Amino acid sequence: MRKFDNKALIASLSVWIVSGILFHLYTAAFGVLEAWLQRLIHLTWVLPLAFLYWPFSQTAPKNRIPWYDWLLALLAIAPGIYGIIHAEEILFRVSQIDEVTNAQLFLGCILVVLLIEATRRLLGWPLTIISAFFAIYMLYGEFFPGMMKGEAFSLREVIESLFLTTDGIFSIPLGVSATYVVIFLILGAFLEVSGVGPWFMAFSSRVAGKSVGGPAKIAVISSCLFGSISGSAVANVYSTGNFTIPMMKRVGFKPFLAGGIETMASTGGQLMPPLMGAGAFVMSAYLGLEFKIIMIAALLPALLYYGTALMMIHFIAKRDGFTGLAEEELPRWSDVLRRSFLLLPILVLVIALLSGRTPMLAGLVAIVISWAVSLFNRDYIMGPKRIYQAFIMAGYSVPVIAIACASAGIVIGSIALTGVGFKIGAVIAALSASYGFVALILIAILAVIFGMGLPTTSAYIIAAALGVSSLTAHNFPPLNAHLFVFYFAVLSNMTPPVALAAFAAGTVAQDNPMKIALTAMRIGVVAFIVPFAFVYDSNLLMQGELLQIAWVIVSTFIAGYFLSIGFAGYLNSRLNLLQRASLIGAGIIAFFPMWQFRVAGIIAGTVFLVAFRRKKRR
């Protein structure tokens, strides 16, 4: 990303960024525009920034904007200006009946080409290749062999689908970016500028710092809190890991272990309500469910993830003799509690979402309250300068998500126009035959593969578009199926060989990213098990009878306890390989959706633990 020295240029670009932020705040407060128009203005604001701030290549100028990027930025505005001027005509046109004019064809082609180039600059080659492939498939599908052979569509039909309807670029993902996501990115910037981030770290340090393996537990708690707001595993690693990883190393944690713990904790932030990143908002829009339903459904699996990780870290720390921090290294409780009012914006946000308020309204109220509480936080009072800083910070964050959503819209448009999604679904159905579990494994692999090269949101959108229909065909409930895909798209952040969060942690911990990724997978193992449980058992998603939900909570946390001991290899003494395998097996069985298996797993694990203790006494 470019950094500029020219103050006039900085001021001009800041006006553009702040104008866009104010537009989104206005529509959040007074109502959004018609869907296509809201999304068009959002993309018209974001797309020029991609060419002005992100250079063409590594060798392109980093402190100034070359003439060709100015030209591309101006061209990026042209489709938006046309769309705004001719909005009424476009909104009331009848798709596949009204003619696509030459101007619309030309501007639509420009938009698609510029969007693909912006995708390359901001997100790299994987999503660029995928979106370009699906765009080409619309034009030349008839030349593909076998099951992929499709129907030929003219360039006008393709541009109409991608540019002039809400089926392509301006489909649900970009709509979510233009409404919910941008508001919560602004909220995240306000929370950071108002001092909530440092308070999270102080609170985590005070809660867990003195316990066995305290620094690692601080990493888990702080990354969970910060990540649930930021929605980015890599950003989370850099934000909290720069503090927690050196602290863990200082008390004896090996670099790969410290990096693995931070990677696991930062990745899980996208799984923890209230926000869970942009993907959860897309899921809400796809399913037509209130966001609070997604929040409630995701809560127990996320608590299992972090709860099991904390137990495992505790046993690892006891095994290796890691201590906590000394009292003098920790903030005073009085200082932490005195600033606990900084949590008010998040509490109000959660209450507003649970009470059924729209995410936009809830986010807007939380923004106002985060500004208000900053007035009582002496070092972080948000006057005009800090508000401007928050606006700019949010403005820098929006393009990556917006471009990812718009580019994924090309894939969605291609699926809608050509029906290629049904063909891929048919392939999955053929490979899985009548076995739903096989379909789950195939979709999990698909989501992880997409996640290796794409942002989590794009990976989820594309994997869901291609795979969820296969899961619902096996009678898995839609919410369960979408959450299943979302989980594995998120987990790609710590899954080799790419594991972006692990590479980020590797730069901080100064150790091998692959060792860090494998360590993160071991500590976060529950996240690879629990989706296979909740996709069969909706009680894990808090949907069902109260007693059944209570039984599932108890049984799965016991299962997590067994897994934490087994993977740590320690209870009151080191366990041998057979003992570890026995507990891991009992823990996995206790996650099975049938109550008979859960009871059997709990009994087996309990018997193993009792036997281990007796053997030790002898």
- The pTM of this model reads 0.92
Q: Are residue 63 and residue 189 in the same domain, yes or no?
A: no
What are the tens digits of pLDDT across the range 103-112? 999 999 999 9
Q: Are residue 188 and residue 41 in the same domain, yes or no?
A: no
How many domains are there within the chain?
A: 3
Q: How far apart are CA 123 and CA 394, in angstroms?
A: 18
Assess if residue 273 is contained within a domain. yes
- Binning pLDDT at 50, 70 and 90, where does residue 267 land? very high
Whether omega before 497 lies within 30 degrees of 0, making that bond cis, reads yes
Answer with the one of 391, 406, 421 that is the final residue of a domain. Answer: 406
By the 8 A CB rule, do 440 and 471 touch?
A: yes
Whether 430 shows a pLDDT value over 90: the answer reads no
Per-residue b/e over 259-280, b at no fewer than 16 CB within 10 Å? bbbbbbbbbbbbbbbbbbbbbb
Q: Are residue 235 and residue 191 in the same domain, yes or no?
A: yes
Assess if residue 566 is contained within a domain. yes
Assess if residue 472 is contained within a domain. no
Domain that holds residue 64: 7-164
By the 8 A CB rule, do 516 and 263 touch?
A: yes
Average pLDDT, stretch 257-281?
92
Indicate left, alpha or beta for 254 from its phi (over 0: left) and psi (-120 to 50: alpha): beta
Q: How far apart are CA 46 and CA 21, in angstroms?
A: 11
Average pLDDT, stretch 266-292?
91
Say what the pLDDT of residue 232 is: 79
How many CA atoms are closer than 13 Å to the CA of 422, on its beta-carbon side? 6
Q: Are residue 189 and residue 284 in the same domain, yes or no?
A: yes
Answer with the one of 129, 164, 199 that is the final residue of a domain. Answer: 164
By the 8 A CB rule, do 151 and 141 touch?
A: yes
Q: How far apart are CA 506 and CA 13, in angstroms?
A: 34
Whether 615 shows a pLDDT value over 80: the answer reads no
Q: Are residue 231 and residue 326 in the same domain, yes or no?
A: yes
Whether 499 shows a pLDDT value over 90: the answer reads no
Per-residue b/e over 191-223, b at no fewer than 16 CB within 10 Å? bbbbbbbbbbbbbbbbbbbbbbbbbbbbbbbbb
Say what the pLDDT of residue 105 is: 98
Residues 6+ apart with CB under 8 A from 348: 362, 365, 366, 369
Mean model confidence pLDDT for the chain = 93
Whether 228 shows a pLDDT value over 80: the answer reads no
Closest alpha carbon to 276 in 229, 336, 323, 221: 229
Say what the pLDDT of residue 613 is: 79
Q: How far apart are CA 551 and CA 589, in angstroms?
A: 15
Q: Are residue 137 and residue 226 in the same domain, yes or no?
A: no
Residues 6+ apart with CB under 8 A from 574: 319
Place of tokens 């290899």: 569
Q: Are residue 154 and residue 218 in the same domain, yes or no?
A: no
- Residue 607 in tokens: 């018997």
Say what the pLDDT of residue 296 is: 96
Residue 576 burial by Cβ neighbours in a 10 Å radius (0-12, 13-18, 19+): exposed
Closest alpha carbon to 381 in 186, 190, 188, 239: 190
Assess if residue 218 is contained within a domain. yes
Assess if residue 424 is contained within a domain. no
